[in-house]
Each structure stands twice: as structure tokens, then as C-alpha cells.
């Protein structure tokens, strides 16, 4: 029995039961693939179900506002996925009459759909014979066949794509791609592969050579960037005695674009308290930091993104009427019930949940 038959047989017996596997609807498969990028499976399933409940088809998604889409996406992170998905839904409606293209080449022209996602949708929904090559596939194939090409070079990528194309059975491309995904997640795992129960344990070259963990090869070390965020929850009470505070909407091409957060001082290095209070940010606001009343000590959170680590500190500041007037020139005043409905990064949400507004 050849590689793909054994793999698909294993998948038939052991594959995960997932809601989008009961359908060949390309919209459903598309949504699942986008949600599952950078997301744990258990977390992704609940988002997938609520996303389809709110936007049951591409027309509903296309006619939503970006804010509605971001709100539903909240907590999943990597918000450019949601923005691209939304934009692509509009393209599908405007350019394709609401019908997703059936070929991977046309799918890959849509915003946010790369070669992997295009291949996954085309193979699963339309039966196109194309491999969907992602990190799981690199790992499994590099180990079994001892491929020593680096997966972060174009030459290495081509070697893996050719290998996967040769292994792919033309009559079952969707099952093959899903089987490789599951096999990589459930058996040939990154740090703890289950070699002792693996169906390929006798053929796997990396296992025979005793160097499983060396695969897949990379030519470069991932570079990370550290950022230092100092958030200030400037709070007071309105004329009715109800809590109000300031927020801002992120702009530009940085992370979390269009989402809401508290006023932020960002630095490329950690700031000792004296440096924080004398930072030019305060001068630009027109606020004398030394005269502010901070309540409690700062809450620190570390937030890991793919290529950056954010070290964040949250300060709560009780403000006077004069500070209120100054801050109003820069930020938007809001109430807890209104802020609830705004899309916000998970980092901000986590802190917000522990704030006591009484």
C-alpha cells in the first residue's frame, strides 16, 4: 500500500470530527481555514459556529460593517485576517456574483487567501488535485523522507510542493490534505511526535537516523521584536455620577488597526517610572504627569504575537475636570456599556475585565 492510501486509511479511522468536514460548501471551508490560521482548534470551533450563525453566507458577510466583523472576531487576534476576509467577501459578491471561484488560482486572487488556503478550499470543496502545504506538511514530509531543504527558502518550498504533489492522489485530494493536517497535529507533533504508535515508524528516515527533532530545517532564526506599551485608563464620573473614561481607535498599518484601546504611550524600551512620567508624550497631550492621581499600581501583561512580544502596563488615573477638558481634545470619552460593544484587542479586553468601575 502506498503512502497516500495508508495515510487516508489512518485518517478514516482517526481523523478529527470537525463541523466543516460535514460540508463541501466553499464558504464554510473558507471561513474555517481563515479562523484556524494561528488559532487553536478548540477555540476556532466556537468562533466558526458563531461566525456562521451571524454571517450564514457571503452576502451577509459582505454587507456587514468592518466593526461588526471585528467585534465577532474579538479574542482571536491577528485581526488583519478578519479585515481581509470581509474585503474578500465584498469582492466575491461584486466580481463573482456571490459565488466563490472554483479554482485555486482564482481563489488566491482574493484578499487574504494565500496559496495554502486556496489549495485547501479548492481541494476540499471542488476536488482540485492540489496539495495544501503548511507547517504540518513540512514537518511530516521532512521527517519521513529526511528532506534537508530549508522550509524558509523558495528552493526548499518548491521541493516540498513537488514532493506533496507527487504523493497526492488525484481522486482524493481533499481527504489527503486533511489527513496530512490531522496526522501532523495528532501524531507527528512538533515537540513530542508519537513515533511508537506511528503508522510510518518503519519507513520514517528521521526516526531511523534518530534525529526527528532536527526536522524541518530552517535557514534563519525567527526574529522577534519587543514593544513596550503603557496604557492609561483616565477615568472620572459624568454629571449623573456614572463612570466614564477615554479610549482611542488605532489607525495606520500596525497591529489591531481600527480596534479600540486606552490612551497609549509606546516605547521601544522599558521605561523606569521617572522616564515614564517625564516622557514627551505628556507634553504633546498638554498634561502634567506629575500632578496626576494614579490609583493602585500598574498591572503588567505580556502578549505574544507571531513576530513580536508586547510588554504592557496598565495604569488607572483618576482625573480632574481640567484634565478631562485637555484629554477630550485627543481621545474619545466613553462609558463601560458603550465600550463593551467596541472591538478591542484581547490584551486590552483582559485588563478591562478586572477594572472595578464602582
- Which long-range CB contacts under 8 A does 249-258 form with residues at least 24 apart? 249/332, 255/79, 255/305, 255/308, 255/345, 256/79, 256/345, 257/79, 257/80, 257/83, 258/66, 258/67, 258/70, 258/79, 258/83, 258/343
The grid coordinates listed for 251 are 489607525
- Distance of closest approach, residue 131 Cβ to ligand SF4, in angstroms: 17
21: buried, middle or exposed (CB in 10 Å: 19+, 13-18, 0-12)?
Answer: middle
User: Binding mask 19-38 vs ligand SF4 (x if CB under 6 A, - otherwise)?
Assistant: --------------------
Helices 135-144 and 173-186 pack at an angle, to 10 degrees, of 80
User: Residue 33 catalytic?
Assistant: yes
Footprint of ligand SF4 on 199-238 (CB under 6 A): 200-201, 204, 206-207, 212
For position 194 contacting ligand SF4 by CB under 6 A, the verdict is yes
Footprint of ligand SF4 on 120-149 (CB under 6 A): 140, 143-144
Q: Which is catalytic among the residues 33, 66, 94, 261? A: 33
Q: Are 87 and 111 in contact (CB under 8 A)?
A: yes
What's phi and psi for 314, nearest 5 deg? Answer: -115, 125
For position 333 contacting ligand SF4 by CB under 6 A, the verdict is no
- Distance of closest approach, residue 134 Cβ to ligand SF4, in angstroms: 16
For position 195 contacting ligand SF4 by CB under 6 A, the verdict is yes
Q: Which is nearer to ligand SF4, 200 or 245 (CB)?
A: 200
Q: Are 143 and 212 in contact (CB under 8 A)?
A: yes
- Distance of closest approach, residue 180 Cβ to ligand SF4, in angstroms: 11
Q: Which is nearer to ligand SF4, 118 or 144 (CB)?
A: 144
Q: Are 167 and 147 in contact (CB under 8 A)?
A: no
Residues annotated as part of the active site = 33
Q: Which residues bind ligand SF4 (CB under 6 A)?
A: 140, 143-144, 187-188, 193-195, 198, 200-201, 204, 206-207, 212
Amino acid at each position: 500500500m502506498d503512502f497516500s492510501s495508508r495515510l487516508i486509511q489512518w485518517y478514516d479511522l482517526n481523523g478529527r470530527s470537525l463541523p466543516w468536514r460535514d460540508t463541501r460548501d466553499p464558504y464554510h471551508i473558507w471561513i474555517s481555514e481563515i479562523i484556524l490560521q494561528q488559532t487553536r482548534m478548540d477555540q476556532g470551533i466556537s468562533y466558526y459556529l458563531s461566525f456562521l450563525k451571524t454571517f450564514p453566507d457571503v452576502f451577509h458577510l459582505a454587507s456587514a460593517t468592518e466593526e461588526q466583523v471585528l467585534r465577532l472576531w474579538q479574542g482571536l487576534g491577528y485581526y488583519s485576517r478578519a479585515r481581509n476576509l470581509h474585503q474578500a467577501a465584498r469582492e466575491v459578491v461584486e466580481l463573482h456574483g456571490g459565488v466563490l471561484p472554483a479554482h485555486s488560482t482564482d481563489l488566491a486572487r482574493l484578499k487574504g487567501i494565500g496559496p495554502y488556503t486556496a489549495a485547501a478550499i479548492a481541494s476540499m470543496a471542488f476536488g482540485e488535485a492540489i496539495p495544501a502545504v503548511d507547517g504540518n506538511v513540512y514537518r511530516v514530509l521532512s521527517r519521513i523522507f529526511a528532506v534537508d531543504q530549508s522550509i524558509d527558502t523558495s528552493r526548499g518550498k518548491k521541493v516540498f510542493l513537488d514532493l506533496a504533489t507527487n504523493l497526492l492522489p488525484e481522486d482524493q485530494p481533499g481527504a489527503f490534505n486533511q489527513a496530512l493536517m490531522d496526522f501532523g497535529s495528532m501524531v507527528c507533533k512538533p515537540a513530542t511526535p508519537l513515533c511508537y504508535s506511528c503508522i510510518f515508524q518503519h519507513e520514517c528516515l528521521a526516526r531511523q537516523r534518530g534525529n526527528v527533532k532536527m526536522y524541518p530545517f530552517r535557514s534563519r532564526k525567527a526574529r522577534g521584536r519587543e514593544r513596550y506599551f503603557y496604557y492609561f485608563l483616565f477615568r472620572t464620573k459624568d454629571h449623573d455620577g456614572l463612570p466614564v473614561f477615554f479610549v482611542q481607535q488605532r489607525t495606520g498599518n500596525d497591529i489591531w488597526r481600527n480596534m479600540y484601546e486606552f490612551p497609549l504611550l509606546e516605547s521601544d524600551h522599558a521605561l523606569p517610572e521617572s522616564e515614564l512620567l517625564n516622557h514627551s508624550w505628556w507634553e504633546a497631550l498638554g498634561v502634567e504627569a506629575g500632578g496626576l492621581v494614579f490609583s493602585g499600581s500598574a498591572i503588567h501583561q505580556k502578549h505574544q504575537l507571531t513576530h513580536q512580544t508586547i510588554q504592557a502596563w496598565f495604569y488607572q488615573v483618576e482625573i480632574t475636570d481640567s484634565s478631562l477638558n485637555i484629554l477630550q481634545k485627543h481621545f474619545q470619552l466613553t462609558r463601560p456599556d458603550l465600550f463593551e460593544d467596541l472591538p478591542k484587542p484581547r490584551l486590552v479586553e483582559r485588563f478591562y475585565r478586572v477594572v472595578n468601575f464602582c
